[in-house]
């Protein structure tokens, strides 16, 4: 009897330990499953060109979201020099079954090359169509065109982002550099000196901080739409 009782007690103890371990693993698995994956599809502005590791847009935004308590992992899908055509060519394999949402921040290199707004619109339309097919919420980040291409180009280019955002029901951050401008909306020489790298195209670390400070709350809205 004693031997039988001891064995039974031991078996119950082992079963209890196994159950506790199973519950622990299940809890860890559930916690991991709640972490959202956010793909940031973009160019050098997303990739972090010219900045030390950890000071680019993606790691700075990741740290900001962590501080807000958001359970998300951002995938840096920024490629320096990429146009909207490049983004379209790689969007399908940049997204996976684990992807929960996407930021699209493309068009700067199209501007630098003077690519037709019709072409830019078609490329971005293809990217958003891919996201729609996967039922992914999107934050579309726009840009303001410089005046040197003429008023028609400027009007047509800037309309791309508002039009497509409405068509695909995305969130919209109208202009990547919005928070680097002064109160009148101008990129004054002093602001450029303070927040941009010497090339005048890419933000420095202080500029990235300001961009994330302003864009971050919109990214939180995106995560809410993704189920976070």
Return the active site residues: 44, 199, 202
Structure token pair of residue 224: 């809410």
Distances 92 to 89, 95, 113, 130 between C-alpha atoms, Å? 7, 6, 25, 7
């Amino acid at each position: 009897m004693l031997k039988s009782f001891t064995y039974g007690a031991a078996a119950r103890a082992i079963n209890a330990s196994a159950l506790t371990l199973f519950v622990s693993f299940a809890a860890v698995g559930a916690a991991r499953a709640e972490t959202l994956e956010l793909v940031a599809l973009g160019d050098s502005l997303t990739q972090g060109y010219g900045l030390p590791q950890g000071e680019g847009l993606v790691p700075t935004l990741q740290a900001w979201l962590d501080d807000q308590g958001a359970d998300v992992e951002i995938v840096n899908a920024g490629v320096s020099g990429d146009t909207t055509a490049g983004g379209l060519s790689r969007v399908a394999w940049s997204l996976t079954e684990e992807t929960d949402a996407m930021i699209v921040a493309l068009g700067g290199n199209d501007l630098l090359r003077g690519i037709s707004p019709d072409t830019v619109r078609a490329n971005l339309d293809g990217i958003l169509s891919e996201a729609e097919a996967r039922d992914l919420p999107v934050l579309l980040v726009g840009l303001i065109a410089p005046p040197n291409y003429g008023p028609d180009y400027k009007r047509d280019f800037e309309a791309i982002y508002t039009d497509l955002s409405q068509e695909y029901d995305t969130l919209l951050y109208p202009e990547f550099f919005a928070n680097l401008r002064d109160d009148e909306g101008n990129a004054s020489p002093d602001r450029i000196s303070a927040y941009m790298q010497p090339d005048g195209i890419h933000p420095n670390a202080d500029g990235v901080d300001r961009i994330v400070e302003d864009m971050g709350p919109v990214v939180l809205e995106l995560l809410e739409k993704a189920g976070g």
